[in-house]
Amino acid sequence: MKQYSVGKIIFSVLFTAAITATVLIYFTPGQDINKYINEKQIESNEVYSEKVPTLLPNEQSRIGIVSGHWGYDSGHVCPPELNNIREVDVALRISTLVRDMLSNQGYTVDLFKEFDPKLKNYTGLALLSIHTDTCEFINNQASGFKVASIGKVSYPVESTNLNNCLIDRFQRRTNLNYLGNTISSDPEEFYDFSEINEYTTAAIMEVGYLNLDYRTLTEKTDSVAKGIADGILCYINNESATTSVEANKPIVYNPSQPETKTKFILPGVENITP
């Protein structure tokens, strides 16, 4: 007959009791053990996720481009002397090229209409609204571009960096003068920009006058778009922008004498008085 030691019997009884007690503590009759295991796994993942830095919204690879007046109105409409060109058409052509250039760099680029409802709480690396300035001839100094911040400027340093990058890179590509931040397309009128996510750094550009800068905007559109794309990438990549305080001062227009008639500048033509 097989003999059992008293010690082994006592150990077996105690071990069995411990296992039974553990099961009874954590589970009631009919409870799904797999559910318990899954809950523990979720708790473990939550603890782990707290140790991993959460990506900020502005670290997403998304950029927004608003094509000025698109889907809303025509913007500036020039007379026959300037081929009836419309601001909305020039802006859309430039905006589309900028979108394609940035998309080729691997970014997701959203092309928006003016007052697009999708701008509400828009989150991205940057948002830029593209416009042009008037068809009217003001004086011989009314040539160049402007850059201004729009929306909620929750991070002034970021806003300044975006503006400086746009100014620097756009000047390099187009050789146009920077005329300051006095935008004739009043940013306060674009209510949707006040609703974008505070992490999104936003700006508005008037890329040139439809009068003196006619040839640049219509014949060198690739350079205009490239200057904008370069500026946005400069900001995103945290590159340096060589802009000075003097360069950022707006030019004040002081015509030597008032213009009695509107003048228009056409390609290859000095002045035409209708």
User: Which residue spans of the chain are classified as CATH 3.40.630.40?
Assistant: 57-266
Q: Residue 234, CB half-sphere, CA atoms under 13 Å: how many?
A: 23
Per-residue confidence (pLDDT) for residue 9, from 0 to 100: 64
Q: Which CATH superfamily is domain 57-266 in?
A: Zn-dependent exopeptidases (3.40.630.40)
Spatial separation of the C-alpha atoms in residues 66 and 102, rounded to whole Å: 14
Per-residue confidence (pLDDT) for residue 237, from 0 to 100: 94
DSSP bridge partners of 108 = 62
pLDDT tens for the chain, 274 residues long, are: 455 566 666 666 566 666 665 555 555 555 554 554 455 454 544 443 344 334 455 456 899 999 999 999 999 999 999 999 999 999 999 999 999 999 999 999 999 999 899 999 999 999 999 999 999 998 988 999 999 988 778 889 999 999 999 999 999 999 999 998 877 654 445 545 778 888 899 999 999 999 999 999 999 999 999 999 999 999 999 999 975 434 444 433 333 334 334 444 433 333 333 3
Q: Which residue is it, tokens 């505070």?
A: 198
Contacts of 105 (CB under 8 A, 6+ apart): 229, 233
Per-residue confidence (pLDDT) for residue 148, from 0 to 100: 92
Q: How many CB atoms lie within 10 A of CB 116?
A: 18
Per-residue confidence (pLDDT) for residue 268, from 0 to 100: 35
CB 199 within 8 A of CB 123: yes
